[in-house]
Amino acid sequence: MRTFLSSVLVMLICSSFSSPSAFCATPDVNPFFAPYSTPFETPPFDRIRPEHYMPAYQKAMEEQKREIQVITMVRSAPTFENTIVTLDRSGELLQRVSGVFGALRGAITNDQLDSIATIATPLLTAHRNDIVLNAQLFARIKAVYDMRSKLSLTPEQAMLLDNTYKDFVRGGANLSEPDKQRLRNINDELSMLSLKFNQNLLKETNTYRLVVEKKEDLDGLPQDVIDAASEAARKAKLDGKWVFTLQKPSWIPFLQYAKNRALRETLYKAYCNRGDNNNAFDNKAISSRIAALRVARANLLGYPTHAAYVLEENMAKTPATVYEFLGRLWEPALKVAQQERDAMQAMINKEEKPFPLASWDWWYYAEKVKKADYDLDEDALRPYFKMENVRRGAFDVASRLYGLQFIERKDIPKYADDVAVFEVKGMDGAHIGIIYTDYFLRGGKRPGAWMGSLRSFGRIGDSTVTPVVYNVGNFSGPTGGKPALLSLEEVETLFHEFGHALSGLLSQRTYHNIGLPRDGIELPSQIMENWALHPDVLRSYARHYASDEPIPDALIQKIVKSERFNQGFITVEYLAASILDMDWHTLTDTTQQDAGAFEQSTFTRIRLMPEIVSRYRSPYFAHIFSGGYSSGYYSYIWAEVLDADAFEAFKENGLFDRKTAEAFRRNILERGGTEDPMVLYERFRGKKPTIEPLLKKRGLM
């Protein structure tokens, strides 16, 4: 019945559009319905059109339902193979369609894809509920789980069984029928609210622009930034003016260099008030409703809070552990941030017309302090960080550590002209996988940087499925006749996301339902940042874009000397957001909060300095309200404890020591998720991690 209703719904939706072909296509021309005839079966982006998604989603859900029905109707007794593995292998077409659609929704969305997401999201949520709340299916899973002590399973198989059973229990399989329906309703509403939150944030971010009409208002800005703003104005048909946006390549340089304090305040507040302007894109009520529904769901499933529900499956295990961990960092970070504030205030007090430092002044005066104390002008570094060279530097690190080769492929379809595609090979020349790199700003691209997967590694019998992954960023693009020249932050971000890509490329996990906990998933990415600005690595890739001269040692020493600069600010703004996340998700009742008052109570309690705004405020905290980081934003710094400790092994044994790299690859990159993450970490490191390397790295001790 549900399949029939889904079909009717799709037909009704298609017929309601003025151009139904934009959403409905005949199966015989749908590229999702046959094996891809592309190199390494990569998605044929040149042939996939919006009208292919809804028929593909519908067919994919129907296929998986039939696969589930086969499991539940088999007459033989449930076994690990005929139930757990067969379930894990189901939904191949759905994974293929969702992988492509998710990638394009993040990197190059438009009104058509937004409309498709609005249609598909409730159908996919209902489909997921149908599987997890299938009583016959759960009975077979439970039968296998109950006899687990009698089975001869590998650690990975045991983890798959445990994950599968817990997914169903935590998804409501043990609830009564009325409570299952309540859970369905909650899940349906949550999925649509999260989608709306993300759509609002993207539209508010992309529609804002600060138009500068007077040339004197550009005083202090580097020429490259002015050129980019002029180019943005030309694209907006505002010739002769300059346009600044809330995208970081535009927003951050303006705050760092613009002498016009009033305009800095205007642009800064526009960023910090996204989703909080009482307009069509306002996210305050949505964030409050999401938090309340998460409490209701957690209570229904037997947990006091959403955080307790989430953290049960993380390394941290409990909210108390997370709060205690964040608290150990908060006081030393706050102390350092206050010292940084005082240094900037002292600089302001020497000016002709002094004033109290405000949050929109921090970036500007931090840049002045950096230049005064370290003789380091970040804009002077950009010429040495041509994007292609930085990317090559990241590839070279992976080559030296793991013996990988990266060969650009021009014959593989891509979804945008400025995307590059590389085949990854091992030391022996064997194919490992494919990586797409997509680094520049684009209309329709959501803010931030991320890694995603179009296909994961897997084993089916004697054959293997090789991974296809992508890295996406919003970096400074080519402008004024110059190539893309990255900031230090963008360099580190590129290395960070490439670390995620390495985790996806080198994984040897056999099954789909095997993965790292949220607070362990950042280790492969964050450890890569240690190589990004290491002097030995910088010398290998940082070359002047015009002269090809290597970065001078004097500049390298300035970078090294300034490593702990502004770490108080960086840590405090991050920790404030992490604590806000935990406060939202340790609510114990379903009363909807006033989002503004709620977050202000958090910041008052922790004594957040007025000169620093939390890295994310509730109305634009996409990580927790439309992403997968609810009760988990702390995981970045949790993983930084691991990465700081892990990198000590490389410092002890050699920056590119193959034995150490092999141990990291074998235990972390290849096997992550197949066993308890701390067991795997200790197997690599030979001991538990300690927090001291992190405190030292950030200058907090």
For the stretch 400-409, pLDDT in tens is 999 999 999 9
For the stretch 99-156, pLDDT in tens is 999 999 999 999 999 999 999 999 999 999 999 999 999 999 999 999 999 999 999 9
| CB-based contact 190:294 (threshold 8 Å) | yes
Catalytic annotation on 489? no
Pairing of strands 242-244, 463-465: unpaired
Q: Please tell me the predicted confidence (pLDDT) of residue 15.
A: 42
Which of 204, 340, 378, 497 is catalytic? The answer is 497
User: Once rounded to an integer, what is the mean pLDDT over residues 25-31?
Assistant: 68
- The continuous run of DSSP H or E covering 212 comes out as strand 210-212
Residue 76, token pair as written in the block: 């033989």
Q: Is 488 exposed, middle or buried (0-12, 13-18, 19+ CB in 10 A)?
A: middle
Q: How confident is the model at residue 10 (pLDDT cuts 50, 70, 90)?
A: very low
CATH of domain 284-376+567-633: 1.10.1370.10
**Whether pLDDT at 1 is above 70:** no
Q: How confident is the model at residue 9 (pLDDT cuts 50, 70, 90)?
A: very low
For the stretch 623-655, pLDDT in tens is 999 999 999 999 999 999 999 999 999 999 999
Q: Please tell me the predicted confidence (pLDDT) of residue 146.
A: 98
Give residue for tokens 């490439």. 498
- The continuous run of DSSP H or E covering 434 comes out as strand 431-440
Mean pLDDT of the chain: 94
| CB-based contact 694:574 (threshold 8 Å) | no
**Whether pLDDT at 304 is above 90:** yes
Least confident of 94-103, 384-393, 668-677: 668-677
CA atoms within 13 A on the CB side of 145: 17
C-alpha separations of 375 from 48, 57, 492, 555, 566 in Å = 51, 56, 21, 9, 15
Q: Please tell me the predicted confidence (pLDDT) of residue 459.
A: 82
Q: How confident is the model at residue 273 (pLDDT cuts 50, 70, 90)?
A: very high
- The continuous run of DSSP H or E covering 394 comes out as helix 387-402
Q: Please tell me the predicted confidence (pLDDT) of residue 683.
A: 96
The separation between the first and the last C-alpha atoms of the chain, rounded to the nearest angstrom, is 63
Q: Please tell me the predicted confidence (pLDDT) of residue 28.
A: 54
CA neighbor of 66 nearest in space, from 2, 149, 152, 148: 2
* Amino acid, single-letter form, for residue 487: S
Q: Please tell me the predicted confidence (pLDDT) of residue 700.
A: 87
Handedness of CA 39, 45, 46, 47 (dihedral sign): positive
Q: Please tell me the predicted confidence (pLDDT) of residue 515.
A: 84
2-174 and 382-561+636-697 share one fold: no
For the stretch 577-593, pLDDT in tens is 999 999 999 999 999 99
**Whether pLDDT at 21 is above 60:** no
Could you state, in order of their start, the residue ranges of all structural domains in the chain? 2-174, 208-272, 284-376+567-633, 382-561+636-697
If you ran DSSP here, which 8-state letter would residue 676 be given? -
User: Once rounded to an integer, what is the mean pLDDT over residues 169-190?
Assistant: 98
For the stretch 408-439, pLDDT in tens is 999 999 999 999 999 999 999 999 999 999 99
- The answer to whether domain 382-561+636-697 has CATH 1.10.1370.40 is yes
% pLDDT > 90, the chain: 90
- The answer to whether domain 2-174 has CATH 3.30.2310.20 is no
Q: How confident is the model at residue 443 (pLDDT cuts 50, 70, 90)?
A: confident
Handedness of CA 605, 611, 616, 619 (dihedral sign): positive
Q: How confident is the model at residue 458 (pLDDT cuts 50, 70, 90)?
A: confident
In sequence order, which residues have a C-beta less than 8 Å from that of residue 435 and are 6 or more positions away? Answer: 406, 421, 422, 424, 468, 469, 470, 471, 501, 505
Q: How confident is the model at residue 24 (pLDDT cuts 50, 70, 90)?
A: low
CA neighbor of 419 nearest in space, from 399, 392, 442, 401: 442
Count of C-beta atoms within a 10 Å radius of residue 548: 9
| Torsion, Cα of 130, 132, 133, 134 (10° steps) | 80
Residue 64, token pair as written in the block: 């998986």
- The continuous run of DSSP H or E covering 560 comes out as helix 553-561
**Whether pLDDT at 29 is above 90:** no
**Whether pLDDT at 16 is above 60:** no
For the stretch 194-231, pLDDT in tens is 999 999 999 999 999 999 999 999 999 999 999 999 99
Q: How confident is the model at residue 479 (pLDDT cuts 50, 70, 90)?
A: confident
Phi, psi values for residue 453, rounded to 5° = -130, 130
If you ran DSSP here, which 8-state letter would residue 210 be given? E
* DSSP alpha helix (H) spans, 301-382: 306-311, 319-349, 362-374, 378-381
* DSSP alpha helix (H) spans, 454-487: none
Q: Please tell me the predicted confidence (pLDDT) of residue 378.
A: 85
CA neighbor of 491 nearest in space, from 527, 520, 531: 531
Count of C-beta atoms within a 10 Å radius of residue 460: 10
Residues listed for the chain: 701
- The continuous run of DSSP H or E covering 15 comes out as helix 2-16
- C-alpha Rg value of the chain to the nearest Å: 26
Report if pTM > 0.85. yes
Phi, psi values for residue 609, rounded to 5° = -60, 140
Residue 495, token pair as written in the block: 């290395």
